[in-house]
Structure 1
Amino acid sequence: MSAGHYRVLVVEDHADSRELLAEFLEALGYEVDVAGNGLEALERLRCTPLPTAMLLDLMMPVMSGWELMKHVRADPALRSLPVVVVSGAGPSQSLPEGILGAVPKPVDLNVLRGLLDAATRR
């Protein structure tokens, strides 16, 4: 896959994790934008061209991933955005509605790559 024309929004509150995910995606050829919480991500989604996919942490300050997904699924312009959860929330936590897939932390980069490949084929 040539990912060069695909853009991913990484929504993660931990700077080190955000940076590592961005570096991994850039190495695969994706364009990457980042947000440190759900509110920042929502502002980016509403003010910039829609990314190909969004990687979403669930437990964040300001606005959680669950809250962000309520806004995304309620907005017709954002509703079709493929979302992959990347979270340490654990298997006992239910996922927000409309998630393409989930990768637990620590992240298995091969699983993540497979989910992003699926998102770009939609």
Structure 2
Amino acid sequence: MSTPNLVLLVEDHADSRELLEEFLTLEGFTVETAGNGLSAWERLSRPPLPAAVLLDLMMPVMSGWELMRHVREDARLSTLPVVVVSGAGSSQPLPEGIRATVPKPVDLFELRATLERVVSPA
């Protein structure tokens, strides 16, 4: 079961992660963060599940593509809403199961609107 306003933010750049975390918190979301895909995978292995994941694709240790493969192979996580927040060019195909994308540099209002389409804060 997921927590209605909990978002897992997966971003390797600390400044971007802190800015997005602060913004989302002010918007009424509870935010947990991970600096790479492996940390996010470890977080997703324990309850509660987030209502959505904001995912950067280009990260060290485990990329967003690798994380998505693991998520989609796990029956417990296979329907977890994922929003890609990435500077990866549009010429690269996105992982299967992505609900939406927000390009970098991030327009905070676009991010909020996109995330609210996926999950509403409490």
Considering the TM-score relative to the shorter chain, is it more than 0.5?
yes
Q: How many residues align?
A: 118
| 2:31 matches 1:23 | no
Higher relative contact order (CA 8 A, sep 6+): 2
**Residue segments in structure 1 that go unaligned for 5+ positions in a row:** none
**Equivalence for 2:53:** 54
**Equivalence for 1:37:** 36
Identical-residue share of aligned pairs (%): 67
**Equivalence for 2:107:** 108
Kindly state the Cα deviation for residue 109 of structure 1 after the two structures are TM-superposed.
Answer: 1.3
Q: AA paired with 1:95?
A: L
2: CA distance, partners of 1:48 / 1:58: 24
Residues 100 and 115, structure 1, Cα contact 8 Å, conserved in 2: no
**Equivalence for 1:98:** 97
1: CA distance, partners of 2:119 / 2:12: 25
Q: AA paired with 1:93?
A: Q
TM-score, scaled to structure 1? 0.92
Segments of 4+ in structure 1 off by > 4 A?
A: none
2: CA distance, partners of 1:110 / 1:29: 14
2: CA distance, partners of 1:93 / 1:114: 24
1: CA distance, partners of 2:97 / 2:113: 18
| 2:66 matches 1:67 | yes
TM-score, scaled to structure 2? 0.92
Q: AA paired with 2:25?
A: E
**Residue segments in structure 2 that go unaligned for 5+ positions in a row:** none
